[in-house]
Amino acid sequence: MADPLLGRVINRRYRLEEQLGSGGMGVVYRARHLLIDRIVAIKILVPGKNTDHLRAWFLREARAVNRINHAHIVDIHDYGETDDGLAYLVMELLDGTPLNEVIARGPMPVSRAADIIEQCCAALARAHDLGVIHRDLKPDNVYLLERGGRQDFVKILDFGLARLMQETAAAARGAVFGTPEYMSPEQTLGAEATAASDLYSLGVVFYEMLTGKLPFEGPGRSAVMEQHRSQPPVPPSRHVPGLLPLGESIVLKLLEKEPSRRYRDAHHLLEDVKALQRQAPRNPWETTAEPAAGVRGAARVGGVVAWSLRAAMFARMLARVYPTGDVPRNLAQALDQLWTMSAQAARAEGEMGADAAKLEAHERRARDFRGQVGRRIEELAREVSHGRRRITELHERRVHLAKLVEEARGVVGSLRGRISQLELAGEMGAPLREAYQALGAAEARVAAREDELEDLNSRIAATEAECAGLESQSRQYREQLEHNADAMDAEAASLRKRVSERTETATRIERALIDTTQVLLDGLGDRPECREIVLETQELVGLPPGVRVPAALSRKND
């Protein structure tokens, strides 16, 4: 059955040319941006899911991901709704290989797997810093490209779509959605996904890359989810003898059942992954030569220049057919209209091009702004991650030190009791002196440990205050990003509307130009002396689509 959306132009800008794939929530198309001739991918929310509630979710998730602006997350160029209510998302078209296809070829060397995980970590760190959770991270959603001569350049897709799928189901509270093989234990219980859930899923992906196997497999969805909750994974070194201990440690820490026992955040994980990369050095990334530029043949003239040339060609035809100037009124008027509308088309194209350039410049400034603020938030989050881990270490040290203080106080108490007994017994010799000496030493140890404990408390308080200050700065940057992004989105929407209006005007003029061209061709259709000029026109600029060339003027008469 033919896809009714193929060939449709979405919001007067994107023509759908080919269906690339479909899923539970959306259909992805290859499309062409008609104003700047860019090939893009468009995801359209499937009509059956296109309720007001889900459209709002779809667009909100698109807006959130658009603000992440990270090199390893698929670029979102545009999003919105059509006049008839179709929600769409415009993304870069990826020319690469999904990670699941690469994994299917067998286990990867640790250096290659660590390189891919490092890029995923960097992307997740930025997303989590901005409050965006993926919720369904798996190899199908990780694409490997060749970019700038670098192999395995990562792009992560479909942030937030698992949440959208959950919203579609009129199911009981606690129902479970997602891909069982990559779900965290808490997700299998119906709990809301968190950053720690994404890290668990990344651990499953890392395990699978290293071993070629999933950590948990079973006869059905329920069996796999139960294994995530209760069964420890087989250490990857059992499948890959000689695996670096740090590699195994990273995987097993990511696959901890309790979220609190996993990495604190993606920044923490990134530090260990980079340490692993240093232990397992890889060859420099392979580089490939840029493809040689092909030699282009003579190109046809297009756009409004073509219409001016067509008008000139029709003027030549009329002059040849009516050398005395007695051109029929309808043909003379059609030629005048062709010249007038060619000028109008030139003006409309110029205005449309200027507005499209403004829009592109605005979008570039918006991306740069999001990138700058996002990087600053990431830097602050990295410092907070360090600080919070330091606080955890200091708290652990404090617990240990408090125990030592209590033990030392117990010794002091015992010695005082011993001294009292000796004094009551009238002992005034060496045993009493030794007891007092031991008491002095024990009290000194207590005082030293108490001073150390007080210093530790001060360091904890100072680090807490430092982290609170960094978190306050991060909140301010996020608020700045939100506030400015709202203003930028509003301006972009205004510019897109203006470009759409210009496009509609240009389209209307072009339709009129095509109709006028048909009038002229029909009027000259029985004059074979025009055939040579018609063929010359076709060779130089072509005739507009949909125009019927009369038989006497057609190339078929050769």
* Domain chopping of the chain, boundaries: 9-92, 96-279, 311-540
Confidence of residue 48 (pLDDT cuts 50, 70, 90): low
Confidence of residue 283 (pLDDT cuts 50, 70, 90): low
Query: Does residue 320 carry a pLDDT above 60?
Result: yes
pLDDT at 24: 63
Residue 513 near residue 362 (C-beta atoms within 8 A): no
- Dihedral angle over CA of 431, 434, 435, 441, nearest 10: -170
What average pLDDT does the segment 201-229 reach? 94
Residue 474 near residue 384 (C-beta atoms within 8 A): yes
Q: How many helices (H) and strands (E) does the chain have?
A: 14, 9
Query: Does residue 285 carry a pLDDT above 80?
Result: no
As assigned by CATH, the class of the 9-92 domain is alpha beta
Which tokens hold the place of 492?
A: 């972009």
pLDDT at 49: 60
366-417 pLDDT per residue, tens: 888 988 999 999 999 999 999 999 999 999 999 999 999 999 999 999 999 9
Rounded Cα distance between 123 and 535, Å, is: 56
Query: Does residue 173 carry a pLDDT above 60?
Result: no
Rounded Cα distance between 557 and 159, Å, is: 58
Lowest mean pLDDT among 118-127, 192-201, 359-368: 359-368
Q: Pick 550 or 304 by higher pLDDT.
A: 550
pTM of the model: 0.78
Catalytic site positions = 136
448-468 pLDDT per residue, tens: 999 999 999 999 999 999 999
Query: What CATH number belongs to 311-540?
Result: 1.10.287
pLDDT at 289: 45
What mean pLDDT value characterizes the chain? 87
Query: Does residue 297 carry a pLDDT above 50?
Result: no
Query: Does residue 438 carry a pLDDT above 70?
Result: yes
Query: What CATH number belongs to 96-279?
Result: 1.10.510.10
Which tokens hold the place of 501?
A: 């209006």
Measured from the Cβ of residue 39, the count of other Cβ atoms closer than 10 Å reads 12
Lowest mean pLDDT among 39-53, 72-86, 536-550: 39-53
